[in-house]
């Protein structure tokens, strides 16, 4: 968040203060603001004494509006104090805003409507004094204008008294613009805007990220996507465009290639090291053609290299083939070094190995299966049902034994004398190793509620139904929705047809609906359908009349706004219908929506035990 400028933080606050005012149980947030001297004592007491939810929400908005006007210099402190783990984890809204600031997605939020901008301009013209008017009248009129948002005339009169008030007016006369930073007549080249001085939004295929100008100039990993840094070539590969082999053409900023921005002097770039891979020729099984693996060289060199590569492909020898294969292995190894999760197998059982938990064969529960976390030795023993095991050989990663990753220092075994919490855990540490370190829904850390029957963990408000504080204080075992659904699935009554299931009262089938939505959340690993799309797709409302997303469906489920199962299913289907309508020219996103919809429909039939036969049968 340190890389975000003050004006951007204030603009972000301005856009989202309504959402923050609607948060349930805001007393904890109020206490935090009071403890950091961001709000006065009288306003704190006034809002705290409110009992009506409607009054509380209005009071919170007025308080945030006051903070924006009177404490705008401390907006950075506001975000720091509300984004502390203990506070952020209490409110889903703050969690989403925190993610938006960290990954830079807030930059894609739409500008304020043009109409508001024109009205402010006209008002400014009407209230602007003539050159003949004195300076005192001028300063008073500026102050009145600043106080017009939700403030009556009496408040304006009070602000006019005294010379000290005039000094304050002079200091606050600069007004931030919360709409487009462009001036009338300027071109929309965002890489020239002040707010993109340090980084610019970039896309490659369907992937979006932010490019750090300084890192690019140094030849470092410069594109960040969800806290993960990539070189331009790695980002191109991540976006599924590795076949282009020219990131300066495949990566774009608002439709303009990076190559063009570099040529025009908007970006400075240092040559990235060129990685060479052996690519088998389509004409011969013996003669490989050597091509640029990532295309991370200079713009002009790429065009020259492409022709020279084609000429040299016919002269490549057997020795170069072997060297190329070794280079490809080294490149794969470099990619593995940056991995944090590895897909592993033992026998016919698949699992994931988490690097940060890996210690040795017998310590550190680093392998997660569907049912539990285990050490490598325990994993092999359970799968092979043997006591004498060789976990480095029996566990494989992409066909290679796990020992290879250790020899290449991709995985590191801890010293025998290591006293870290994984090597020398106490009872609490051992208990924590039984569950995930991040929420199974939003995939972020924080204060988590651990299921006592499976390895899943959840934030209180990510789980459905929400986990109340009273449940946390209860010492009895707690089961998540997935475990409850699995245990009682057989007792659910069968449905003869899909239509019969859709017509059922949802109160009788809330368990199935909650299970289905949580599973959709988890299956959408990139969280594409989780949040409100209008926050980052400014033109979606021109195509989609009723935006819908998983978070909205979850709110309606939690607040029991649905009457029938069909109402719930209609909203879920609406998400994928909107996706297809908006992405008519983007088959990749359309395919993602179709795949997820097919998964939902298939899982719906299983959850409701639909018995109707297909037309083919």
Distance CA 285, CA 184 (A): 61
Measure Cα distances from 163 to 9, 138, 147, 170, 184 in Å: 32, 14, 18, 11, 36
The more confident residue out of 228 and 244 is: 228
Q: Same domain, yes or no, for 415 and 504?
A: no
Whether residue 566 is contained in a domain is answered as yes
Question: What's the pTM?
Answer: 0.47
Residues facing residue 458 across a β-bridge:
449
| pLDDT tens column, 25-81 | 899 999 999 998 999 999 899 898 888 888 888 999 999 999 888 888 888 888 889
Which of 39, 71, 103 marks a domain boundary? 103
The more confident residue out of 131 and 145 is: 131
In this prediction, residue 467 carries a pLDDT of 92
- Considering only 261-270, 323-332, 366-375, 559-568, which range has the smallest mean pLDDT? 323-332
In this prediction, residue 605 carries a pLDDT of 92
The residue whose two tokens read 């855990």 is: 425
Mean pLDDT of 93-112: 70
The more confident residue out of 254 and 579 is: 579
Say if strands 349-354 and 341-346 run parallel, antiparallel, or are unpaired: antiparallel
Kindly tell me if the per-residue pLDDT of 97 is higher than 80: yes
What CATH number has the domain bearing residue 227?
A: 3.10.390.10
Mean pLDDT of 526-532: 86
Mean pLDDT of 596-613: 87
Whether residue 598 is contained in a domain is answered as yes
Whether residue 306 is contained in a domain is answered as no
Which of 72, 103, 134 marks a domain boundary? 103
Q: Same domain, yes or no, for 604 and 496?
A: yes
Q: Same domain, yes or no, for 597 and 498?
A: yes
Whether residue 394 is contained in a domain is answered as yes
Q: Same domain, yes or no, for 91 and 25?
A: yes
In this prediction, residue 224 carries a pLDDT of 87
Measure Cα distances from 314 to 283, 291, 318 in Å: 10, 12, 12
Whether residue 367 is contained in a domain is answered as yes
Whether residue 146 is contained in a domain is answered as no
Q: Same domain, yes or no, for 429 and 503?
A: no
| pLDDT tens column, 315-371 | 444 455 555 555 555 555 555 667 889 999 998 899 999 999 999 988 899 999 999
Q: Are 159 and 168 in contact (CB under 8 A)?
A: no
Mean pLDDT of 423-445: 89
- Res. 115 pLDDT band, cuts 50 70 90: very low
Q: Same domain, yes or no, for 402 and 503?
A: no
- Res. 380 pLDDT band, cuts 50 70 90: very high
Kindly tell me if the per-residue pLDDT of 223 is higher than 80: yes
The residue whose two tokens read 């979606």 is: 540
Mean pLDDT of 391-414: 90
Q: Identify the three-state secondary structure at position 417.
A: coil
Mean pLDDT of 235-252: 82
Q: Are 208 and 223 in contact (CB under 8 A)?
A: no
Q: Identify the three-state secondary structure at position 14.
A: helix
- Res. 194 pLDDT band, cuts 50 70 90: low
What CATH number has the domain bearing residue 543?
A: 1.20.920.10
Q: Same domain, yes or no, for 503 and 429?
A: no
Highest mean pLDDT out of 171-185, 216-230, 260-274, 452-466? 452-466
Task: Report which DSSP code applies to 182.
Answer: P
In this prediction, residue 106 carries a pLDDT of 64
Residue 575 tokens, joined: 């998400």
Q: Same domain, yes or no, for 503 and 579?
A: yes
In this prediction, residue 3 carries a pLDDT of 61
Task: Report which DSSP code applies to 412.
Answer: -
Measure Cα distances from 115 to 11, 118, 325, 372, 537 in Å: 18, 5, 61, 56, 19
pLDDT cut 90: percent of the chain above it: 26
Q: Same domain, yes or no, for 13 and 82?
A: yes
Distance CA 304, CA 315 (A): 18
Kindly tell me if the per-residue pLDDT of 571 is higher than 90: yes
- Considering only 126-130, 247-251, 365-369, 390-394, which range has the smallest mean pLDDT? 126-130
Kindly tell me if the per-residue pLDDT of 313 is higher than 50: no
Average pLDDT in the chain = 77
Which of 264, 289, 319 marks a domain boundary? 264
Q: Same domain, yes or no, for 429 and 526?
A: no
Distance CA 296, CA 134 (A): 62
Whether residue 317 is contained in a domain is answered as no
Task: Report which DSSP code applies to 131.
Answer: T
Distance CA 537, CA 553 (A): 19
Say if strands 252-253 and 228-230 run parallel, antiparallel, or are unpaired: unpaired
Say if strands 349-354 and 367-368 run parallel, antiparallel, or are unpaired: antiparallel
In this prediction, residue 112 carries a pLDDT of 61
The more confident residue out of 284 and 294 is: 294
- Res. 188 pLDDT band, cuts 50 70 90: low
Q: Same domain, yes or no, for 604 and 500?
A: yes
Residue 56 tokens, joined: 């509380």
Q: Are 372 and 450 in contact (CB under 8 A)?
A: no
Task: Report which DSSP code applies to 505.
Answer: B
Kindly tell me if the per-residue pLDDT of 108 is higher than 60: no
Whether residue 257 is contained in a domain is answered as yes
Q: Which domain holds residue 28?
A: 6-103
- Res. 107 pLDDT band, cuts 50 70 90: low
Q: Same domain, yes or no, for 420 and 522?
A: no
Rg (CA), the chain: 29
Structural domain tally of the chain? 4
In this prediction, residue 366 carries a pLDDT of 94
In this prediction, residue 505 carries a pLDDT of 93
Distance CA 199, CA 3 (A): 9
Residues facing residue 556 across a β-bridge:
none
What are the helix (H) ranges across 89-212? Answer: 92-103, 114-127, 135-146, 153-158, 163-171
- Res. 145 pLDDT band, cuts 50 70 90: very low
Measure Cα distances from 93 to 25, 88, 183, 188, 253 in Å: 12, 8, 33, 31, 29
Mean pLDDT of 108-113: 60
- Considering only 183-197, 286-300, 310-324, 346-360, which range has the smallest mean pLDDT? 286-300
């Amino acid at each position: 968040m340190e890389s975000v400028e003050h004006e951007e933080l204030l603009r972000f606050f301005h856009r989202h203060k309504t959402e923050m005012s609607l948060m349930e149980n805001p007393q904890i947030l109020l206490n935090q603001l009071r403890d950091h001297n961001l709000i006065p004592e009288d306003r704190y007491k006034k809002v705290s004494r409110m009992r009506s939810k409607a009054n509380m929400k209005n009071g919170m908005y007025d308080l945030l509006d006051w903070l924006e006007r009177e404490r705008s210099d401390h907006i950075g402190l506001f975000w720091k104090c509300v984004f502390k783990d203990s506070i952020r984890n209490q409110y889903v809204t703050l969690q989403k805003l925190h993610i938006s600031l960290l990954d830079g997605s807030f930059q894609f939020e739409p500008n304020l409507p043009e109409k508001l901008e024109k009205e402010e301009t006209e008002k400014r013209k009407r209230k602007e004094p003539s050159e003949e008017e004195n300076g005192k009248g001028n300063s008073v009129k500026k102050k009145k204008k600043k106080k017009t948002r939700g403030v009556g005339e009496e408040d304006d009169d009070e602000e006019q008294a005294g010379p000290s008030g005039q000094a304050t007016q002079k200091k606050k006369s600069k007004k931030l613009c919360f709409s487009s930073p462009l001036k009338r007549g300027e071109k929309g080249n965002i890489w020239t805007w002040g707010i993109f001085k340090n980084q610019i939004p970039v896309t490659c295929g369907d992937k979006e990220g932010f490019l750090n100008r300084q890192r690019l100039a140094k030849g470092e990993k410069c594109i960040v996507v969800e806290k993960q840094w990539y070189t331009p070539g790695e980002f191109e590969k991540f976006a599924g465009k590795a076949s282009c082999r020219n990131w300066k053409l495949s990566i774009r900023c608002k439709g303009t290639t990076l190559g063009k921005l570099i040529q025009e002097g908007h970006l400075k770039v240092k040559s990235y090291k060129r990685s060479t891979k052996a690519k088998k020729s389509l004409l011969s099984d013996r003669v490989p053609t050597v091509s640029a693996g990532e295309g991370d060289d200079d713009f002009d060199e790429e065009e020259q290299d492409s022709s020279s590569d084609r000429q040299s492909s016919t002269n490549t020898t057997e020795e170069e083939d072997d060297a190329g294969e070794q280079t490809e292995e080294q490149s794969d190894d470099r990619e593995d070094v940056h991995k944090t999760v590895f897909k592993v197998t033992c026998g016919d059982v698949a699992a994931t190995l988490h690097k940060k938990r890996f210690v040795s064969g017998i310590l550190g529960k680093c392998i997660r299966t569907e049912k539990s976390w285990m050490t490598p030795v325990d994993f092999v023993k359970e799968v092979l049902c043997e006591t004498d095991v060789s976990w480095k050989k029996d566990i494989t990663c992409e066909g290679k034994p796990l020992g290879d990753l250790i020899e290449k220092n991709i995985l590191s075994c801890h010293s025998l004398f290591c006293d870290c919490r994984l090597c020398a855990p106490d009872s609490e540490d051992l208990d924590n190793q039984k569950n995930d370190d991040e929420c199974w829904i939003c995939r972020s850390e924080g204060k988590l509620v651990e299921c006592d029957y499976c390895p899943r963990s959840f934030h209180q408000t990510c789980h459905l139904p929400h986990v109340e504080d009273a449940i946390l204080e209860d010492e009895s075992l707690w089961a998540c929705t997935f475990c409850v659904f699995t245990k009682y699935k057989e007792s659910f009554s069968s449905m003869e047809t899909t239509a019969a299931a859709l017509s059922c009262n949802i109160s009788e089938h809330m368990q199935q609906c909650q299970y289905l939505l949580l599973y959709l959340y988890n299956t959408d690993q990139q969280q594409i359908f989780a949040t409100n799309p209008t926050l980052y797709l400014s033109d979606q409302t021109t195509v989609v009349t009723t935006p819908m997303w998983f978070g909205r469906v979850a709110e309606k489920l939690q607040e029991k706004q649905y009457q029938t199962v069909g109402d719930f299913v209609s909203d879920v289907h609406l998400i994928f219908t909107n996706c297809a309508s908006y992405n008519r020219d983007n088959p990749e996103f359309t395919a993602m929506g179709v795949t997820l919809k097919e998964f939902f429909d298939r899982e719906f039939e299983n959850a409701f035990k639909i018995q109707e036969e297909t037309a083919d049968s």
